[in-house]
A and B are shown apart, each in its own frame.
Chain A
Amino acid sequence: MKSSKPPALATWLVEHAIPGKRNEALAGDLFEQFGQGRTSLWYWRQALGAILLGYAREWRVFAWASTFTLLWAFEIDRSHYWNLPGARDFFGFGGSQNWLLSVLSAAGAILLRSLEVMPMAAIAYSGLGATTQLKGNWKEHGLWPRGWSHIGKPLAVGYAVAATLTLLLLAILPARHHPILVANLAALAPVFFAVVVMAFVTPSNDTRTWNLTLFRINSPGNR
């Protein structure tokens, strides 16, 4: 028997997760169609399709900022986290450390790789905020593309320029002068410990991969 009410979660997503200003009308249309005999599956398909379309459109609107962000993220990753002397050995690829150091270094590698998200998010947020502010229609967009645009044009653009210059500076400075690393390590400490805990409880006999488990120490190839 078909429910008389449409899926509540899908309705909530349509009303809250789609960028732009058409959410109420679209939610009403879906509700009306559901009342005329459409199925829950149809409702979910329409809702998810509308959300994807909404974000695809946002991506197109903010294409330059998104592309700029990705390029920067790649550059930061390339220049700081991966090509440091000895980084690949230290982070568990081809190293012959004991199990504890191996676990810690593998977790560190994962963490360091994930750190690119932080500067990327900073640039994205400031870039998107500046773009939205310059277009003069920030109130029409969802929360994430607004960035800091609600603080006004001079500050929004100023933050974007400051973030870009800061990251440019970070990219050309030697790795030991990498202040953002310290801040991110502190912020991501819980993630670090979660990764370490996961490493201890995950059994694996594959000696080709990182030494992520306690079992590694007793495996035949390691005696």
Chain B
Amino acid sequence: MPKRDYLSEFELMVLLAVLRLGDEAYGVPISREIEQQSGREVALGSVYAALERLEEKDLVQSEFGEPTPQRGGRAKKYFRVTRKGLREARQARNALLNLWQGLRELEGERT
């Protein structure tokens, strides 16, 4: 079996947030999306650290937008998921679903 570099829980959350946001995926909405979906406060620095790791693994790509006055003249950095990223997300979902199946302790619970 080939060796795989597994995604951490947070990396997977960031990857899914980028997917959900589509063309509007940059730091602020990504962290907001994760906060809304997970109910936990997220540091922007940790979001960028995760995005950097995902980019190194070729799971996301980034490009700079235009600088805007709302950001003090700084550009947004937009992210999008690559084909490899999509494949990784699917594999992670399948692995998690397989692990979840048949666990009576977790049935009927929704937090």
Binding site for B on A (CB under 8 A): 11, 18, 20, 22, 24-33, 35, 45-46, 49-54, 57
CA distance A32 to B70 in the complex (A): 6
Contacts of A22 in B (CB 8 A): 48, 51-52, 77
The secondary structure that dominates the A interface is helix
Interface range on chain B (Cβ under 8 Å from partner): 20 to 34
Q: Which of A18, A24, A32, A49 contacts B43 (CB 8 A)?
A: A49
The secondary structure that dominates the B interface is helix
- Is A26 touching B72 in the complex (CB atoms < 8 A)? no
- Is A50 touching B45 in the complex (CB atoms < 8 A)? yes
Given the contacts A26-B27, A32-B28, A33-B28, A53 and B75 also touching, CB distance less than 8 Å: no
CA distance A35 to B64 in the complex (A): 21
- Is B49 touching A53 in the complex (CB atoms < 8 A)? yes
- Is A20 touching B72 in the complex (CB atoms < 8 A)? no
Q: Which of A11, A24, A54 contacts B45 (CB 8 A)?
A: A54
B94 CB-CB contact with A under 8 Å: no
Question: Quick one: which of B70, B71, B77 has the most chain A CB within 10 A?
Answer: B71
> Can you list, as one digit per residue, whether each of B24-37 has a CB less than 8 Å from chain A (1) or not (0)?
00111001000000
> Can you list, as one digit per residue, whether each of B79-106 has a CB less than 8 Å from chain A (1) or not (0)?
0000000000000000000000000000
CA distance A27 to B70 in the complex (A): 12
For residue B100, give the distance in angstroms from its CB to the closest CB of chain A: 31
Contacts of B71 in A (CB 8 A): 28-29, 31-32
